A and B are shown apart, each in its own frame.
Chain A
């Protein structure tokens, strides 16, 4: 070993040991547990059951429904965040007077805890005291004050959690895209101008392609985060009513704490990690391809 690599190891050894004990070891533990039937009371004493936890998880209807809900949640939330974020980023990219202040205003939700976001929306979507239903009624959109039971109607519960997520993280999307927009070289726009491109053409053939790599990174980060959402869903609906807004993380939490099934919840977590790794490697390949061009 060269002297250089030895010095490097000294520097990252403390962090590596810490991560080994409190991150990699738990993940290894998780994989092990997923093959065991574990009795919570007997403190980790388990019997090896092979793949039966996995088979049980995949075959259970509730797991399939929960996975579907998670997918809907991710696709709808991230989709809206991307469109809204891009819209705000384009507006803020215009150098009007006071755009710095407006940007700061827009950044505010970034600092709010997902838990608090859940509380805010739980308060506003409440069907007795909520302001959302009152406004819908005042503007004659709904016929009565409790026409929409946002959190207790199976048709709306998942949508309500998605609304809260969009509100919380559109500013994040906006910020990343704004930084991307400001990184686009001005000469590209000048040459588009010389070529006689109109606004829409410039947007389609200059702005969007230049922004593409940044968009992929932003969508990747948001996809991973939205897929593991817990706080918002827990506070708003706890996955109810009748599992209509259950997502993977709330279901795993319940499987562990309410039903005490360590083996099955571990198996679900492993499936979840594999799914996320597959999705993110797809995004990363797309990004490398885009960067090569």
Chain B
């Protein structure tokens, strides 16, 4: 959206000044509302650096009266949270790589070569998006259990890849369709076969698209709670399940819980603000583009 030229012209200066003022007021109101809106998150961050006793004070304050890393120390002492974070990271990363790789290959095939089988496959992929996770979870539990893979990272990697592949396909098709066919044709004339043209020409051009798909796949796996809760118990337990255990019926460790929640979400938050361009394009793709 382009800013109107703020330069002074002879006519209508007063009107313009008025318009500018109105914009400033809207801007101010919006900023205040936005800050209010995200204040729950700020509150959790501030609480995590309060002394443990202040975090569960009967008269809580928004800002900390004194700073302390007590909650973070307690968090590490109470459970092997580092191991859980490692499990989350490994399963999310490997499943992301697999899903983006399989998804990109499929999307390229479907975008460049038309076939009836391909169209049917694409439609089925869309239907999968409608299937509620919990209903996949039931047979998944039985299958994984039957394979003897309960409580392994492989179980989670396979599950996350399966959930992410349809999404990666749909996102990548959009990107590939926007790359002119002349690109791969030129590569073919230069002596590439279909596969090398894809690897050497299309992949580099569509890196932003691949990055967008990767961000979304990673976030889904990293944030998952349901499958981790159902398919793991001790060895492959992920951070989300670990964090949820700060809240048991008998033991309400609210202080360390805030520390864990912040440690879990802050890196992702910072990262996504850095790459928000891709996130915005990924989210609005399909919804807005024709």
A interface list, Cβ under 8 A from B: 1-2, 4-12, 14-16, 18-19, 22-27, 29-30, 33, 43-44, 88, 91-99, 102, 104-116, 119-124, 126, 128-131, 134, 145, 167, 170, 172, 175-176, 179-180, 182-183, 214, 217-218, 221, 224, 227-228, 230-231, 234-235, 248-249, 252-253, 256-257, 262, 265-266, 269-270, 272-273, 276-277, 280
Contacts and interface: CB of A to CB of B under 8 A. Distances in A.
Interface string B112-146: 11111110010011011111111111111111011
B223 A113 contact: yes
A111 B268 contact: yes
The listed residue with most A CB atoms (<10 A of its CB), out of B47, B108, B133, B288, is: B288
Interface residues of B, number: 101
Given A5-B113, A14-B102, A29 B139 contact: yes
Contact of A179 (B165, B194, B258, B284): B284
Contacts of B2: 95
A215 to B, nearest CB: 10
Contacts of B130: 224, 273, 276-277, 280
B169 interface: yes
B265 A113 contact: yes
Contacts of A99: 27, 30
The listed residue with most A CB atoms (<10 A of its CB), out of B34, B243, B272, is: B34
A236 B225 CA distance: 14
B225 to A, nearest CB: 4
A114 B223 contact: yes
Contacts of A277: 127, 130
A250 B192 CA distance: 52
A92 B30 CA distance: 7
Given A30-B138, A43-B146, A265-B138, A24 B59 contact: no
Contact of B165 (A15, A128, A248, A256): A15
A116 B133 contact: no
A76 to B, nearest CB: 18
A94 B43 CA distance: 29
Contacts of B33: 88, 91
Contacts of A120: 40-41, 43-44, 261
18 contacts: A2-B115, A9-B115, A11-B106, A11-B108, A14-B102, A19-B166, A23-B128, A27-B131, A105-B35, A111-B272, A113-B223, A115-B243, A134-B60, A228-B134, A256-B138, A269-B135, A270-B135, A276-B132
A256 B114 CA distance: 42
Interface in B225-261: 225-226, 230, 240, 243-244, 247, 254, 257-258, 261
B94 interface: no
B140 A26 contact: yes
A277 B135 CA distance: 14
Contacts of B283: 110, 172, 175-176
Given A8-B110, A8-B112, A23-B128, 17 more contacts: A12-B105, A12-B118, A18-B102, A27-B135, A93-B1, A102-B27, A109-B38, A112-B41, A115-B225, A115-B243, A123-B257, A124-B43, A129-B57, A214-B288, A231-B225, A253-B137, A266-B135
Nearest to B134: A249
B226 to A, nearest CB: 5
Given A114-B223, A252-B135, A262-B138, A5 B105 contact: no
A54 B272 CA distance: 44
Nearest to A5: B115
A160 to B, nearest CB: 13
Nearest to A28: B139
A107 B146 contact: no
B214 to A, nearest CB: 15
Contact of B109 (A9, A26, A170, A272): A9
B247 A235 contact: yes
A292 B245 CA distance: 51
Nearest to B226: A230
A106 B38 contact: yes
A114 B223 CA distance: 7
Contacts of B138: 30, 33, 252, 256, 262, 265-266, 269
A96 B23 contact: yes
Contacts of B169: 12, 15
Contacts of B219: 111
